[in-house]
Structure formats: C-alpha cells, structure tokens
Chains A and B, each alone.
Chain A
Amino acid sequence: MTAHIFSVLVEDSPGVLSRVTGLFSRRGFNIESLAVGHCEQPDTSRITIVVTGNDVQIEQVKKQLNKLIEVIKVLDVSEYEHVERELALIKIRAEPGTARSEIMQIAGIFRAKIIDVGLDTLVVEVTGDSGKITAIEDLLKPYGILELVRTGKIALQRGSALVSSGK
C-alpha cells in the first residue's frame, strides 16, 4: 500500500468533481487529499488526488478515471520525478511575550509567514511537502493550535514533461 498522486485534467464543467469523487467512493478507493482548480488551459481544471492502495487497485483507479468522459488525461505523478506542495494555515494561541517570539522563530526556520496577528493569536502560513507541514504542526502543538487547515497536495512533474491533453 503506497500513496499515489494522480494529476487529472478534466473538463471544467458542473458535476465533474462529483463524477470523480463518486467513482472513488463507489469503487471503494480512499481519497487522502484532493485539490481542484483551473489550470493553464482554457475550460480545463486540474484535480490532484492522493490515494493509497495496492498496485491492482491503483491501476483500476487510473483506468476507471480514464473512462469518465470528462476526464481528459490522468497521470500518476508519483511515478515520475516531481515536486509536490501543500499549504497549511495554522492559528495558534500566542500571548504577547516569550511564546509569541518562539513561535515567530519557528516560523522563520520553516520559512513560514505570519499572515495575521491578533491580540493573543497568530496565523502562520506554511508551504512544503507533507513532512514539513507535519513537522511544524508538531512543533507548534505545545503552544496551542486553535485551528488548522491544510490544502490537498498539488504536484507537477519536474523538467519539461507536461501532463498534456489527449488520453
């Protein structure tokens, strides 16, 4: 069982997301994370889905996705050299004083940004791979994480290769 990152190019039409997610739940595949947005081509969105499974299951996921009429292209990015990122926003309890400066130091080490400062809270924005985000989360936990939100993973192949159109 390994995690795979599927980069799925789809028609930008209503219902396409429920077709894709419906397929996962119907066939018993588990989605670990999901990110959707427009991409470089007009009328086209890119869905990045992280799914774990054995080889046979992963092969089925890919083939079943390809069968959806509105799916233009499916690539298992994790099979290739690639870059991947997630973004997290973390709201932490941070009374003025030592706590606050320690948090700001930690953020600095992780190249995270403080994007909101409240009377006794801070919001930290961090991007990186999952490991980095988990690491900063662990370090910030003792100060009291009030809220945390993580985007799904997004990824691109390294170099000049493209997830171009055409199945």
Chain B
Amino acid sequence: MKSGAQILIEGLKEQGVDIIFGYPGGVVLPIYDELYDADIRHILVRHEQAAIHAADGYARASGKTGVCLATSGPGACNLVTGLATAYMDSIPVVAITGQVPTSLLGNDAFQESDITGITMPVTKHNYLVQDARDLKRIIREAFYIAGTGRKGPVLIDIPKDVSTAMVPDTDGPDDQPRLRGYKPRCQGHSRMIQRAVDLLLQAKRPIIYAGGGVILSDASTELVTLAERLCMPVTTTLMGLGCIPTDHPLNLGMLGMHGTEYANYAITESDLLFSIGVRFDDRVTGKIEAFAPQAKVIHIDIDPAEIGKNKQPDVPIVGDAKSVLTDIIKKIPESCPHPEWSETVAGWKKNHPLRYNSDGKLYPQFVIKTLAKILADKGVIVSEVGQNQMWTAQWFKFTRPRQWISSGGLGTMGYGFPASMGAHFACPDQPVVVLAGDGSFQMNIQELGTVAQYNIPVKVIVLNNQFLGMVRQWQQLFYEHRYSYTELPEVHFERIAKAYGIEGATVTRASDVEAAIRTALLHPGPYVLDIRVEREENVFPMVPAGANISEMIVGHHTEHEEG
C-alpha cells in the first residue's frame, strides 16, 4: 500500500522530474512531508506566481516539462497568471495544486477554490483527482499531454484526502494513459509537402517567417539548412528568436510591430511566405489584409486550429515542424539562388539598419549591445515585458535556440525574473541575465529572497527609466504626451538587493556600463545592476496598432548602427 502523496512523488520521478518550484500550505502538507526526504529538489519561492514562472522558464530553457506546486485557494489562484502565460506561448508545465478534502468539495470550505473551473480556459487540460487509485494514470497523462503536440500547461488538483489515502501500488492497464480523444499528429501530408516544394522551387522572392513552433519542435538546424539551400531570407517572431543566429547572413531579425524595417519590407514584397510554427499574431501582421499581400502562403503548424485562423494559406501542412522540414529538405537536393531578390533584401538591410543616438548619453540599446559583445555566444537571456523586451529582442545577438526567454503572447510583467531562476536550473553552466524594466522588476521583486536563499546566480540588469516605459511611449505618440499614471518614483534597486544580502551596483554613465556588466558576470552569486537609462527613449521602428507593417514610424535616430 502507498499513500497518494507517495504515488505522486514516484510519478514525478518516473517522468524524470528532478526539480520543482513551490510554496506550501495546509492541504499540501502530506505532499510536502513526502518531499522532505525525496530526491527531488524543491525550491521555495516567495509567491506562487514565481513558482509557475520558474517552472515555465525551466521548460523554455531545457525543452523539458517544468513542475510547480501550490496549496489550495489563494495558492492555486496565484498560479493563474503563470498558467495563462505558459498557455499563450505553448510551454509544457505541470502545475500541482492541493485541494480541500473530497468530502468538503463544493462546500465553500476554508481555502477552497474551484481551480479546475477557474483554469479551464488557460490550461491545455486539467484534472481534479477524486480517487488516489487514478493518480498514477493521471500523472502520466498530464505529462504526456503537456509535452506532446502543441505543448502547454496541465494542472492536477489533488484533494488532501487523496494525498493521504492508502491504496494498493499497482501498475496495470488502468494505470496507463487512456486518451481516446488525444492523438497529436506529427507527420505532414505528403501531397501537401510536394505542393510546398513546388512553390518553393518556383518562387522568385521567397521568405521564411519562423516562430515559436520552430523552437518548440527543435527544428532550428533543419530551418537553417533549408534557408541556406534555397537562399531564402528568414525573419522570426519574438518567439522564434534564436532559431537562426542573429549574425547569419540570411537573418532579417524580428518582424512585426517592432521588427526591423528590412524584415517588414521583405515580407511586404515577397511572393512566397513560408510560415513555420507561427500563428499570424496581430503584433506581427498589423493590418492582416496588407500582410504579405503578393505572396502565396505555406503554413506549417502542429495545431490544425492555427491554420486558416488568421490567414488562409495556399498550402496548409499540419505536422511537427522538424518532421515536415526534414521531408521538404529531402526533396530539395540542390541549392537554388535568387540573386536579384537577395540583392534587394541586402539593399534594405544596408540602408535601413536599426539605429539609436550616439550623443554620449546612456541608452538602453547600448547596454544590450554591450552585453551581447561581452557574452558572445554564451548566456541565457530573459526579458521582462515592455521596452526592455523589445530592445533586447532587437539588439541582442542570439546564437542558438532556447537562449531567449520572454513572455510573448500574454506579455506578463513580472515573468522574467522568476523565469530566470528556472532557466538557471535548466542551464546551470550558463550565465543567466535578466533584462528588466523598473516596473516589471517590481512585480515579482520578492524573489530576491529566493535567489539569495539558494544562491541562484542570475544577473538582473534593470533598464531603469522610472517609467512604465512602453505605455509612456504610446502616450507620447498617440495620446499627446499625456503621461497618465505611468511615471514611477526613483527606486534604489542596489539598496534593495543589499537588504536581501545580494550584491549590486548603480550605473549612471555610459562609460561605466561595460565594466559594471563584467563585474556582475564575474560575481559568483546573484547580482542586481541598476542602470539609469535615458528616461524617454522610444522603441523604433514601430508599426502603429492595426496599420500596414510596411508603414513604420522610424524615429529620428542619428548614428550608431547595428553591427
């Protein structure tokens, strides 16, 4: 006989889980008691939201499924934002929550909340376990669902009496996943693949539009191979950054609202849009009718519901990006250059680079450029949300997939810092750096307690502009400079860090940036670097919401080009 809690822990180990992020409470006491001497590491966070973001960061950096644990009621409710964040970006997470005993369910018992009801729209699936004998099967199903097909978060709600119940330890047919309605499809349809190949070989101005699906599918190598073979420029979404190195000659960087001018021009002029693991998000397409208006569209996506949701493709291919790209590559043995198109694209790239001012002031873009120079091909880069996120996306030089961790679909402020803790445990040998705004950092700043307690050596660089910068930018551009409730008072992040026993520094001059970053990176533990950047710098280029993506506001920057 075994207790439900024992079955849970063994089930997690069977799935290869070696770390979970959590926060205890009454109804999870039996599970915590089991964890006390289990060989699974548990990181005690300071807020359940951080537990799920950390599990999510772990998943993004490692490709494995992240796990978090919370108590019922308030603990479970604190996971909701994190579930929605993971759901929007298709990140595999298993969240375990405690629940009041089955006899009290529906009774408005102390710390009861209907968490399966609450999280239905933000999970791929969820379970309320009513019988400890179902637990083994449910854990297997949960991990299978979270980590296959279009990945996503799964929640398992476990009433206290299910954790304590003693049940026979079986491993029979009833303990195997039983998922009649879930059969993710991997292989692309061969006729569609042939049609895609035909279009690819005919195209004169082809472009690849690659996204998060390429990262999730571990298909970066295939993507770069195909792009090189067909001499096709590649632009990626925010979620696709890293699937081709920033410095690769075919890479056009990010497209969309804050994409590069040349990526948006190339999309607009292309005659074939080869879309891989992307969902035609409105931040990317702007006005959808004007998005790649001359192009035939091929769309590879593992989720049939994404195909035709926003843009009707000429060739729909449902399948895993890696599998489909492999099939396509086999059918394109020779290289197939497009000299004219390559020249046009190169011209845009040369004439419309990303820019910022070079008047000696401390600009956030300079901080990121400097960080990129120092890290070279090392590092996992995590962003918060807002201008800091866009500048990092534009100016960091990514060299590999899973190097970039950012909340794209939900845009969750407060995501980055906790996610960086997970990234560290996924990649303990890599420096992990968070680029934060002062607003976002303060949304989960309490995790300084966690990084101090476990000496998690993440480096937080606060691009401190004393504004909710991204919102301020919109107010400046579209609301006549009326900065309604977006100014933040000065905060001394270095002093806050020190109160937690964490090292830190404050930088106010551009000339000190490089040395400060080097010091932070050399420091063996966590570090907070408060960099006081130009307060009203804007992110450009910018496509106003709902406009045509070739109509960008480019700003008035003078010198300092990328490179």
- Residues of A with Cβ closer than 8 Å to B? 10-11, 14-15, 18-19, 22, 26, 56, 59-60, 63-64, 66-73, 165-167
Q: Which residues of B contact A167 (CB under 8 A)?
A: 181, 183
Once A72-B180, A165-B180 are accepted as A-B contacts, the answer to whether A63 and B304 lie under 8 Å apart by CB is yes
Kindly specify which of B16-24, B115-123, B362-370, B495-503 makes contact with the partner chain. B115-123
Q: C-beta contact mask, B167-182 vs A, less than 8 Å → 1, else 0? A: 0000000000001111
B413: min CB distance to chain A, Å:
24
Once A63-B305, A67-B303 are accepted as A-B contacts, the answer to whether A22 and B182 lie under 8 Å apart by CB is no
Q: Nearest 8 A-B pairs (CB), nearest first?
A: A63-B305, A72-B181, A69-B125, A72-B180, A69-B182, A71-B181, A63-B304, A26-B121
B409: min CB distance to chain A, Å:
15
B350 at the interface (CB under 8 A from A): no
Complex: how many Å from CA A19 to CA B303? 19
- Output the nearest chain B residue to A61 by Cβ-Cβ distance: B305
- Output the nearest chain A residue to B183 by Cβ-Cβ distance: A167
Contact A70 B181 (CB under 8 A): yes
Contact A64 B124 (CB under 8 A): no
Q: Size of chain B's interface in residues, with CB distance under 8 A?
A: 18
Contact A59 B181 (CB under 8 A): no
A68's partner among B116, B128, B180, B181 (CB-CB below 8 A) is B181
B214 at the interface (CB under 8 A from A): no
Contact A69 B124 (CB under 8 A): yes
Contact B120 A22 (CB under 8 A): yes
19 A-B contact pairs sorted by A residue (CB < 8 Å)? A10-B181, A11-B181, A15-B120, A18-B120, A19-B120, A22-B121, A56-B308, A60-B309, A63-B305, A64-B305, A67-B303, A67-B305, A69-B182, A70-B125, A72-B181, A166-B180, A166-B183, A167-B181, A167-B183
Q: Which residues of A contact B183 (CB under 8 A)?
A: 166-167
Complex: how many Å from CA A166 to CA B121? 24
Complex: how many Å from CA A10 to CA B182? 11
Contact A66 B304 (CB under 8 A): yes
A60's partner among B124, B179, B305 (CB-CB below 8 A) is B305
Once A72-B180, A72-B181 are accepted as A-B contacts, the answer to whether A15 and B116 lie under 8 Å apart by CB is yes
B427: min CB distance to chain A, Å:
31
- Output the nearest chain A residue to B312 by Cβ-Cβ distance: A56
Contact B120 A69 (CB under 8 A): no
- Residues of B with Cβ closer than 8 Å to A? 116-117, 120-121, 124-125, 128, 145, 179-183, 303-305, 308-309
Q: Which residues of B contact A56 (CB under 8 A)?
A: 308
A39: min CB distance to chain B, Å:
13
Contact A18 B125 (CB under 8 A): no
Q: Which residues of A contact B116 (CB under 8 A)?
A: 15
- Output the nearest chain B residue to A69 by Cβ-Cβ distance: B125
Complex: how many Å from CA A50 to CA B303? 24
Contact B181 A69 (CB under 8 A): yes
Q: Which residues of B contact A60 (CB under 8 A)?
A: 305, 309
Q: Which residues of A contact B117 (CB under 8 A)?
A: 15, 18
Complex: how many Å from CA A139 to CA B486? 64
Q: Which residues of A contact B120 (CB under 8 A)?
A: 15, 18-19, 22
Complex: how many Å from CA A167 to CA B117? 25
B95: min CB distance to chain A, Å:
16
A59's partner among B121, B145, B308 (CB-CB below 8 A) is B308
A22: min CB distance to chain B, Å:
5
Once A19-B120, A69-B124, A69-B145 are accepted as A-B contacts, the answer to whether A11 and B304 lie under 8 Å apart by CB is no
Q: Which residues of A contact B182 (CB under 8 A)?
A: 69
Contact A69 B121 (CB under 8 A): no
A74: min CB distance to chain B, Å:
10
- Output the nearest chain B residue to A165 by Cβ-Cβ distance: B180
Complex: how many Å from CA A67 to CA B120? 13
Interface centre among B180, B183, B308 (most CB of A within 10 A): B180
Q: Which residues of A contact B180 (CB under 8 A)?
A: 11, 72, 165-166
Q: Which residues of B contact A10 (CB under 8 A)?
A: 181
- Output the nearest chain B residue to A70 by Cβ-Cβ distance: B181
Q: Which residues of A contact B304 (CB under 8 A)?
A: 63, 66
Question: 4 extra interchain contacts, Cβ-Cβ under 8 A, other than A67-B305, A167-B181?
Answer: A15-B116, A15-B117, A67-B303, A69-B124
- Output the nearest chain B residue to A68 by Cβ-Cβ distance: B181
Contact B181 A15 (CB under 8 A): no
B177: min CB distance to chain A, Å:
11
A110: min CB distance to chain B, Å:
39
A167: min CB distance to chain B, Å:
6
Q: Which residues of B contact A59 (CB under 8 A)?
A: 308
Complex: how many Å from CA A26 to CA B87? 15
Complex: how many Å from CA A56 to CA B308? 8
Complex: how many Å from CA A140 to CA B416? 66
Complex: how many Å from CA A15 to CA B145? 18
Complex: how many Å from CA A18 to CA B121? 11
Complex: how many Å from CA A96 to CA B87? 63
Q: Which residues of A contact B305 (CB under 8 A)?
A: 60, 63-64, 66-67
A41: min CB distance to chain B, Å:
10
B395: min CB distance to chain A, Å:
37
- Output the nearest chain B residue to A44 by Cβ-Cβ distance: B180
B59: min CB distance to chain A, Å:
19
Complex: how many Å from CA A165 to CA B128? 25
- Output the nearest chain B residue to A56 by Cβ-Cβ distance: B308
- Output the nearest chain B residue to A71 by Cβ-Cβ distance: B181
B514: min CB distance to chain A, Å:
49
- Output the nearest chain A residue to B310 by Cβ-Cβ distance: A56
B138: min CB distance to chain A, Å:
12
Complex: how many Å from CA A64 to CA B309? 11
- Output the nearest chain A residue to B120 by Cβ-Cβ distance: A22
B536: min CB distance to chain A, Å:
39
Complex: how many Å from CA A46 to CA B120? 21
Complex: how many Å from CA A120 to CA B333? 85
Contact A69 B179 (CB under 8 A): yes
B120: min CB distance to chain A, Å:
5
Contact A15 B308 (CB under 8 A): no
Complex: how many Å from CA A70 to CA B180? 8
- Output the nearest chain B residue to A67 by Cβ-Cβ distance: B305
Q: Which residues of A contact B145 (CB under 8 A)?
A: 69
Complex: how many Å from CA A68 to CA B125? 8
Q: Which residues of A contact B121 (CB under 8 A)?
A: 22, 26
A148: min CB distance to chain B, Å:
32
Q: Which residues of B contact A165 (CB under 8 A)?
A: 180
Complex: how many Å from CA A63 to CA B150? 13
Q: Which residues of B contact A14 (CB under 8 A)?
A: 128
Complex: how many Å from CA A71 to CA B183? 11
Complex: how many Å from CA A129 to CA B180? 32
